[in-house]
Structure 1
Amino acid sequence: MTSTAPPATGARTPWEDLPHTVRAAVAEVLGGPVVAAVSQDGGFSPGVAARVRTVEGQRAFVKAVSAQSNPDSPDMHRREARNAAALPLAVRAPRLLGTYDDGTWVALVFEDVEGRQPHVPWRERELRIVLDEVSALGRALTPSPVDAPPVGELQAEAFQGWHRMIEAGDTGGEGRGLDPWIARNLHRLAEVSDPWVEFASGDTLAHGDLRADNMLLTEDGVVFVDWPHAVRAAPWFDLLILLPCVRAQGGPEPDEVFTGHPLGRDADPEGVTATLAALAGYFVRQSRQPAPPGLPTLRAFQRAQGATALDWLRKRLGPGLP
């Protein structure tokens, strides 16, 4: 399978466009002014994402965004700061060096990690490394060392996608662009997804948004970045979230990977199907919404993830749905 998902990109703000107060705050964290900054590709953020270097040679990774770029992004940065600061040192994640928050602009300063994102389309060896590290991540974060919200709380609204489409009358018809199979089975998909919280709940700290642009391959493994969506969930939740995106970016069939993986083998099949149905409903509904400010490829990316999640779900449901 070739990659069907578009690049995960936001409309990056150049480092030079940051207000002086933000750049001064970063300089204070790093002990000197920034003299070089290189914007980084990948990730759904309309703000700054740059590797920087100070006059003294100190290196760091800086993320910064304002409510003017996207009204939701500053709160995501605030959640990420809280989560990153609470992660134990045993977790392979960048260390938070400092923050700045003036109510409009939020900036996070992380240690710089020497690494790169996995190749897309996925390569077998790199995927194998990532899947091994996802196992290690689950072990290291059980029980959860962070007081993150339960998955059923954080995703309570997002994972009601099929129900919200029914309530909004988004049930297909001429010109609506909805897959005919979804239109025929929309109410049944909502029913299948209903018990997802019961099964997906747990006391493992899950990253909650694993995909290629949220990880860096290093010489000795994988570093997981971007933690605003961290939740307490079942041990297999991160694996399930990851695999539709892997498939959409040229990877293998999700069910084969999931059932053969240490975190997936012991998962309740009914619970996996229910949670997968809820995830697919989220992707499909979101892909049909207007594009948010500064994130031009997000809806197409969600559409690709929704298509692969649905394909996986249909295989798990079997021939019972016409």
Structure 2
Amino acid sequence: MSPPPLPPVPYHASAQRPSWSALPTALRTAVADRLGAPVVTAQVAGAGFTRGFAAVLDTADGGRAFVKAAPAAEQPHLVDWYAREAAILDWLPADLPAPRVRWTLSEVGWFVLCTDAVDGHTPRLPWVPAELDATLAGYADVAAALADPPTELTALGLPHLADLARSDILWWEEVAAGREPPPPLPAPLRGRLPELVELESLLPRYATGATSLIHGDLRVDNVLIDADGRAWFCDWTWVCSGPAWFDLAGLLLTAYASGLDADRFFATHPATADAPPDALDATLAALAGYYLTGAAAAPPTASPHLPAHQRWSGEQSLDWLAHRQGWR
């Protein structure tokens, strides 16, 4: 049996970020002042696909915090993302396995978000069964807590997955209409464009009316496994109203690629209790188009590894869908 098709670059090493010493002196001084002591070590985060600064900072008094920072002039989108995440983290239910905000700071044209540090590692691929079990159990708790979210969180005016799907996720229709170049497809799937268009069109229909909130960007690089084996969920920028099974499908792409029974994990998870029978197929079709077309248009401000990871994720989505549909 051939080994599972792992990502081209490990998720724990997918980022390209500046070092602590590369930040402006005045910014480092301001951060240290807010932390209450000089920074003695900075462990830059290896996971993720942005070029923003992100690191666990240890201070001379024994303190530890996780800090993200981005310059407003060069990376205004990251400043917006970090500010949005800070607002969301402020109102997440207190018992969720998510970092808590300590403070934010604007200094010398940079925006800084400081949260509690999670002492953990990115899940290993192929998935270690205990780590996958912990992640799925942790997400069940997240989905249950966000099924009836706090009013303060919904008051932030978070987007709806149905709208995001129509504006940014569904791309097979654009390919079919000639408005988007077709991504390369395996020979057995080149005649399946009509089915891909039909399947992806189900996603906004199924997501319309959802009142629960979801993480919106649930991937391996947004999960940390702590020393006790508990899963923590990070990077909450893309929270939106939608069904929890959408998050779960995205997370399980790496379980499928690990050679595990991802269909069973999806079907038996509490988040899929009310999912339509073809919810997974609709999501996989949408993700395949989103990732495969996005791989050709990754922004220059992203990690240079992003296009390869998007291509790999799209290929896994399409392969999983093809097996479910009997297209191979």
Structure-2-length-normalised TM-score: 0.87
Report how far residue 60 of structure 1 moved: 0.4
RMSD over aligned CA atoms reads 2.4
Aligned to 1:17: 22
Q: Tell me the equivalent position of 1:35.
A: 40
Paired position in structure 2 for 1:136: 141
Matched residue, 1:287: 295
Q: State the alpha-carbon separation in 1 of the partners of residues 239 and 33 from structure 2.
A: 28
For 2:119, the equivalent position in structure 1 comes to 114
Post-superposition shift, 1:276? 2.5
Question: Does structure 1 residue 159 correspond to structure 2 residue 169?
Answer: yes
Q: 71, 79, 83: which one pairs with 1:66? A: 71
Q: Check the 8 A contact 1:189/1:277 in 2, yes or no.
A: yes
Provide Cα deviations, 1:198-226, integer angstroms capped at 9, x if missing partner: 21342222111122221111216211111
Tell whether 2:99 aligns with 1:94: yes
Q: 2:308: which partner in 1?
A: 300
TM-fit CA distance, 1:68: 5.8
For 1:309 and 1:315, the matched residues in 2 are separated by 10
Which one of the candidate residues 246, 255, 270 is aligned to 2:255? 246
Q: What is the CA–CA distance in structure 1 between the aligned matches of 2:139 and 2:91, rounded to whole Å? A: 19
Q: Which deviates the most, 136-145 or 160-169?
A: 160-169
Distance 1:32 1:155, change over 3 A: farther
Question: What is aligned with 1:196?
Answer: 203
Change (3 A) 1:122 1:79: same
SS at match of 1:156: helix
The two structures have a TM-score, normalised by structure 1, of 0.88
Q: 1:205 aligns with which of 204, 213, 222?
A: 213
Partner of 2:10: 7
Which secondary structure state, in structure 2, belongs to the residue aligned with residue 157 of structure 1? Answer: helix
Cα distance per residue 1:11-37 (max 9 Å; x no partner): 111011112333233223322332321
| Aligned equivalents of 1:7, 1:26: Cα separation in 2 | 30
Counting aligned pairs with the same residue, the percent is 35
Could you report, residue by residue, the CA deviation over 1:215-240 in whole angstroms, capped at 9, with x for unpaired residues?
11121621111111111111322111
* SS of aligned partner of 2:104: strand
Per-residue deviation, 1:64: 1.2
Unaligned 5+ residue runs, structure 2? none
Instruction: Give the equivalent residue in structure 2 for 1:179.
Output: 186
Give the direction of change, closer, same or farther, for the CA distance of 1:290–1:275 in structure 2 (3 Å limit).
Answer: closer
What SS does the corresponding residue of 2:93 show, helix, strand or coil? coil
What's the CA shift for 1:103? 9.1
1:75 partnered with 2:74: no
Aligned pair in 2 of structure 1 residues 52, 189: CA closer, same or farther (>3 Å)? Answer: same
Residue 151 of structure 2 is aligned to residue 149 of structure 1:
no
| 8 Å contact from structure 1 (residues 171, 178) kept in 2 | no
2-structure distance, mates of 1:26, 1:168: 49
Q: 1:178 to 1:317 in 2, by over 3 A?
A: closer
- Please give the alpha-carbon distance, in whole angstroms, between the structure 2 residues aligned to 1:28 and 1:182: 57
Secondary structure at the counterpart of residue 191 of structure 2: helix
Q: For residues 154 and 65 of structure 1, what CA distance do their matches in structure 2 show?
A: 25
Letter in 1 for 2:250: I
1:171–1:51 Cα change, 3 Å: closer
> What amino acid sits opposite 2:293 in the alignment?
R
Letter aligned with residue 209 of structure 1 = D
Structure 1 runs (4+) deviating above 6 angstroms are none
Q: 1:269 aligns with which of 277, 285, 291?
A: 277
Q: Which residue identity is paired with 1:154?
A: L
The CA deviation at 1:269 is 1.2
SS at 1:289 equivalent: coil
Deviations 1:66-117 (A, max 9, x none): 3566553222222211211221211111111111235952221111122222
Tell whether the 8 Å contact from 1:69 to 1:294 is kept in structure 2 after alignment. Answer: no
